[in-house]
């Protein structure tokens, strides 16, 4: 079964055709810079370009950095405010003429890791975090997704800012933190998460997960912490996977 997976990110919108049984991309990956401002109209326009480039007709899955309930986007931390309360899924169906499934980007990436990557056949509580512009979070309990966790917006004890404004990869770059300094921030974050949710396994994704050996040694949790296996492809592969039954 082939589906088109689309990953809407802060800097790029990426899409590829995916074999959803194998969890593998079967086409080249198209990446188009995210229009600024990333209004629904502009982003859905780019999505249309990707669909047209593949001359594609069929199920499409899309991950977006916001809370998504029944196809409507309910938060917009790192995307344009125009997405707030916007019926994104319906608008994407209208623009492409294809059936579309729209979910939160971290949930989508975690679906890919649970099916084909580091979380494969893991029982118990598995959590995944994507470290990028924000911090995406997802939780699976015995293989079932608990959707729309927003743990990038937790406050760490004694701090009155969103954890992602202290711990994301964006902050590592902006403050030019050493791996050690950033690793210690991550350690603080994951300790708090562990205290609240007691996961069995924590999977770390996002572009920076390629360099996991630089920061994983600083994270000391009871739960095992492992890098995502699908790396940057998880967003696209998971998106395609949610589009097919
Ligand atoms: C958003 C989440 C998203 C995460 C990663 C956060 O700022 O609130 O919905 O999953 O960034 O993109």
- From first to last of its 245 residues, the chain has per-residue pLDDT tens of 999 999 999 889 999 999 999 999 999 999 999 999 999 999 999 999 999 999 999 999 999 999 999 999 999 988 999 999 999 999 999 999 999 999 999 999 999 999 999 999 899 999 999 999 999 999 999 999 999 999 999 999 999 999 999 999 999 999 999 999 999 999 999 999 999 999 999 999 999 999 999 999 999 999 999 999 998 899 999 999 999 97
Q: How many Å lie between the centroid of ligand 1 and the Cα of residue 119? A: 20
| pLDDT attached to residue 175 | 98
Q: 150 CB under 6 A from ligand 1? A: yes
Cα dihedral: 217, 233, 104, 9 (round 10): 90
Whole-structure pTM over 0.85, yes or no? yes
The confidence score (pLDDT) of residue 231 equals 85
The answer to whether 92 touches 60, Cβ cutoff 8 Å, is yes
Q: What is the DSSP letter of 86?
A: B
The pLDDT score that the predictor gives to residue 121 is 87
CATH code, residues 121-228: 3.30.420.40
> Whose CA is closest to 4, among 43, 20, 12?
20
Ligand 1 pocket residue status of 104, Cβ below 6 Å: yes
The C-alpha atoms of residue 185 and residue 183 are separated, in whole angstroms, by 5
CATH C-level class of 2-108+233-243: alpha beta
167 lines ligand 1 (CB under 6 A): no
> Is residue 119 lining ligand 1, measured as CB closer than 6 Å?
no
Partners of residue 135 on adjacent β-strands: 131
The protein residue with its alpha carbon nearest to ligand 1, atom 12, reads 65
Can you give the pLDDT at residue 242? 97
- 77 CB near ligand 1 (under 6 Å): yes
Ligand 1 nearest-atom number relative to CA 164? 7
Distance between CA atoms of residues 197 and 119, nearest Å: 17
Q: Helix (H) and strand (E) counts for the chain?
A: 8, 13
* Positions of CATH 3.30.420.40 in the chain: 2-108+233-243, 121-228
């Amino acid at each position: 079964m082939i589906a088109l997976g689309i990953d809407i990110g802060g800097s790029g919108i990426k899409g590829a055709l995916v074999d959803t049984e194998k969890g593998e991309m079967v086409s080249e990956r198209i990446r188009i810079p995210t229009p600024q401002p990333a209004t629904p109209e502009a982003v859905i326009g780019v999505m249309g370009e990707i669909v047209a480039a593949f001359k594609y007709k069929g199920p499409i899955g899309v991950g977006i950095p916001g809370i998504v309930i029944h196809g409507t986007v309910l938060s917009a931390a790192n995307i344009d405010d125009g997405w707030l309360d916007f019926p994104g899924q319906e608008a994407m169906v209208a623009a492409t003429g294809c059936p579309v499934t729209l979910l939160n980007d971290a949930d989508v990436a975690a679906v890919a890791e649970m099916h084909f990557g580091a979380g494969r056949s893991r029982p118990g509580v598995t959590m995944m975090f994507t470290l990028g512009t924000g911090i995406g979070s997802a939780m699976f309990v015995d293989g079932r997704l608990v959707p729309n966790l927003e743990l990038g917006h937790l406050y760490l004890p004694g701090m009155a800012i969103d954890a992602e404004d202290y711990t994301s990869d964006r902050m590592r770059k902006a403050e030019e933190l050493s791996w050690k300094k950033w690793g210690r921030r991550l350690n603080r974050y994951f300790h708090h998460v562990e205290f609240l949710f007691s996961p069995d396994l924590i999977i770390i994704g996002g572009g920076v997960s390629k360099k996991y050996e630089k920061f994983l040694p600083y994270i000391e949790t009871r739960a095992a912490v492992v890098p995502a296996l699908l790396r940057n492809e998880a967003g696209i592969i998971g998106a395609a996977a949610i589009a097919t039954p």
